[in-house]
Amino acid sequence: MSVSKIYLDNNSTTPCDPRVVDAMLPYFYNHPGNAASRNHPFGWEAEDAVDLGREQVADLIGADPKEIIFTSGATESDNLALKGVFEMYSRKGNHIITLKTEHKAVIDSCHKIEKQGGEVTYLDVKRDGIVDLEMLEAAITDKTILVSVMWANNETGVIQPMKEIADICQKHGVLLFSDATQAVGKIPVKPKEVGVHLMAFTAHKMYGPKGIGALYVSRKKPRVKVTAQIDGGGHERGMRSGTLNVPGIVGFGKAAQLAKAEMTADAERVSALRNKLESALLSQLEEVYVNGSKDERMPHVTNLSFKHVEGEGLMMTFNQNIAVSSGSACTSASLEPSYVLIALGLGDDLAHSSIRFSLGRFTTEEEVDVAIKMLVDGVNHMRALSPIWEMYKEGVDLESVEWTAH
Ligand SMILES: *Cc1c(COP(=O)(O)O)cnc(C)c1O
């Protein structure tokens, strides 16, 4: 990647590690078998490759290979966990607890469940983005079957106290699901040790290929089952039918093996770059705020609000050169502020002025230096053109200004 095109959007997707691609290539042509073909060598080769991939993925998260259900990605894993538990445990209850800051794949699955007679509590988070444990415990009723809390947030990088959450769930006999897509492969994630019973993750957020993900489903203490959402040949112990994506699984396995070996070194290097970026922007610009907890946070992410600068507009000043995400989402008619940042208590203005920087394994110091310069110039440029910024600098109390509508 040249410095004229800098990728700081690794939370959207990561580049595939070249070592992952090398491992996958033979499985497109030289070993084309279907892992379910049990009666010839092509099938056996494919099955062996799937077995190894499953072991590597399981090993990364301290699970038994039998506890890994391969899916098409974390969106499908989220759907399978939530809808699958809701259907499987309907006799026990119909109540699910989750957070307002969850990924859309969780929120929208919960909305569907509500349409089908489920009850869902969407908990507020604290100003730092972290769940209020007392509020969580108070929300549990005798109808609660599942708590769903993401391990790390995709917009802010905020990490939830999974052990404390698991202890509360254990005490009340409630299952715990976590969308750990942003955490797996980057920080140690061990669902069994912590007491998480189901967990979603995906290869393309950890330097593997797109279109392959997994759901961890605990097999012992407790033995958890989910109702299949895709029916067919009964693959994946009946929980997810469909011909296995052999090259994808090989790549996912390789990505998991690399992550396990390199996680500590990667995190150390990338967090130093993240800190350099963040502290340069905070010191060279006025009125910049870090969104979400600075301590309980993924090593590669910083989400910043640049007061009185519209994030989408700021992005346009450098998006030919630097890829980031803004805290606004384009819907059909308007620019909506991020619901995650709103849930943290940010006003619309600060939410609209936010930008997420997510660094990764392939980010270089040179790229960070170039990005700092372009960002500082971009923000200064936008503010120089902004009457609001001028008023702010002149000491006008913007809250008290009476705006006239035209
Ligand atoms: C990216 C992401 C997903 C979706 O994963 P896909 O594999 O693209 O379906 C789900 N949850 C979180 C937290 C994510 O960051």
Q: Over the stretch 338-359, which tens digit does the pLDDT of each residue have?
A: 999 999 999 998 999 999 999 9
Ligand 1 contacts (CB < 6 A) are 73-75, 103, 105, 150, 154, 179, 181-182, 202, 204-205, 213
pLDDT at 336: 86
> Span 106-120, mean pLDDT?
98
Contact 8, 322 (CB under 8 A): yes
pLDDT at 398: 77
Annotated domain spans of the chain: 6-12+263-395, 18-258
Taking the CA of residue 102 as reference, the ligand 1 atom at the shortest distance is: 13
pLDDT at 401: 72
> Span 12-37, mean pLDDT?
97
Q: Say how many Å lie between the CA of residue 104 and the centre of ligand 1.
A: 9
Q: Over the stretch 373-399, which tens digit does the pLDDT of each residue have?
A: 999 999 999 999 988 899 998 988 877
Residue 332 has pLDDT above 60, yes or no: no
Give the catalytic positions in this structure. 330
Residue 236 dihedral angles phi and psi, to the nearest 5°: 50, 50
pLDDT > 70: what percent of the chain? 97
Q: Which of 70, 199, 202 to mutate to test the pocket of ligand 1 (most atoms within 8 A of CB)?
A: 202
Residue 406 has pLDDT above 70, yes or no: no
Q: Which of 80, 103, 159, 207 to mutate to test the pocket of ligand 1 (most atoms within 8 A of CB)?
A: 103
Query: Pick from 189, 118, 202, 125: which is nearest to 158 by CA?
Result: 125
Taking the CA of residue 210 as reference, the ligand 1 atom at the shortest distance is: 7
Question: Which residues are CB-neighbours of 10 under 8 A, at least 6 positions away?
Answer: 205, 300, 358, 359, 360, 363
Question: What is the CATH class of 6-12+263-395?
Answer: alpha beta
The topology under which CATH files domain 18-258 is: Aspartate Aminotransferase; domain 2 (3.40.640)
Task: Supply the residue whose CA is at minimum distance from atom 5 of ligand 1.
Answer: 74
